[in-house]
Amino acid sequence: MSEFSKRRRSGFTLVEVMIAIGIMTVGSLGILSMHQAVSGANRAAQEMNVALAITERWIERIERDSLSWSAEGLNTTELTGTAYLSGLAGTVSATDWVKPVPPDLDESWGFDYFGRDTRAAGQLKYCTNLRLSWLRQGSSARVDIRTFWFREGHMSGTPKHSQWVSGSDFRSAACDAPTADGWNLGVAGQAPNVNVVLASTVVTWLRRE
């Protein structure tokens, strides 16, 4: 029998098979880890995009509300008649963070996973709070907007962080501003599974003839 025929009949040894399986296993684990990392990054990016869209929507609502501000002053009935800027009536500096309550029932302080307005606590994924302050008393104001959301699946296992927020606690809070303040949003030590986007806009009283 020729040397060529002997070589064709010979197979892989057990050691070679085990090495091949080991290499395939390590490669598969690497691919799975990369897939999980990419999936997590895509989820985080999607959540951030939704939060930014919600924040921009609230900037538009504030600017729309300012159109009802038709008289200069701290205590004018025109300012009191606005939906959101009325919180500045009688205030000489700034307000605390508050949960805005739109008069239109189709709008809300809360949003579901897709960024749609909702007032149902069980559907809450994103929340919006406002903080109002005067730039020039009676004529121009700054409105800070924070949109925060519950990052489901952000960490696995038993939470160890002292500021950990459970999903049920987030939804039961119903976007309450004082509760959110306790989560230290936007500062060191904040809840690791609650993220926040902060933005500001400036509105002014315009004289109308």
What is the rounded average pLDDT of the residues 163-169?
Answer: 85
Which residues lie below 8 Å from residue 207, measured CB to CB, with a gap of 6+?
72
What is the rounded average pLDDT of the residues 139-162?
Answer: 78
Compute the distance between CA of residue 107 and CA of residue 101 in angstroms, rounded to an integer: 9
How far is C-alpha 61 from the chain's CA centre?
A: 18
pLDDT, tens digit, 9 for 90 and up, residues 77-105: 778 889 999 999 888 888 999 999 999 99
**For the chain, what percent of residues have pLDDT higher than 70?**
80
**Helix H or strand E segment including 143:** strand 140-150
Q: What is the CA radius of gyration of the chain?
A: 28
Kindly tell me if the per-residue pLDDT of 4 is higher than 60: no
Give pLDDT, residue 190: 80
pLDDT, tens digit, 9 for 90 and up, residues 48-76: 999 999 999 999 999 999 998 888 887 77
Which residues lie below 8 Å from residue 23, measured CB to CB, with a gap of 6+?
none
On whether the CB atoms of residues 43 and 62 are closer than 8 A, the answer is no
Angle at 98 between CA 183 and CA 43, to 5 degrees: 50
Compute the distance between CA of residue 87 and CA of residue 17 in angstroms, rounded to an integer: 74
Q: What is the mean pLDDT of the chain?
A: 83
**For the chain, what percent of residues have pLDDT higher than 90?**
46
- 133 vs 33 pLDDT, higher one: 133
Give pLDDT, residue 158: 55
Tokens of 55: 């924040």
Compute the distance between CA of residue 119 and CA of residue 2 in angstroms, rounded to an integer: 83
What is the pTM assigned to this prediction? 0.78
- 23 vs 94 pLDDT, higher one: 94
- 138 vs 206 pLDDT, higher one: 138
On whether the CB atoms of residues 16 and 24 are closer than 8 A, the answer is no
Kindly tell me if the per-residue pLDDT of 209 is higher than 60: no
- Domains of the chain, residue spans: 3-204
Give pLDDT, residue 176: 96
- 163 vs 27 pLDDT, higher one: 163
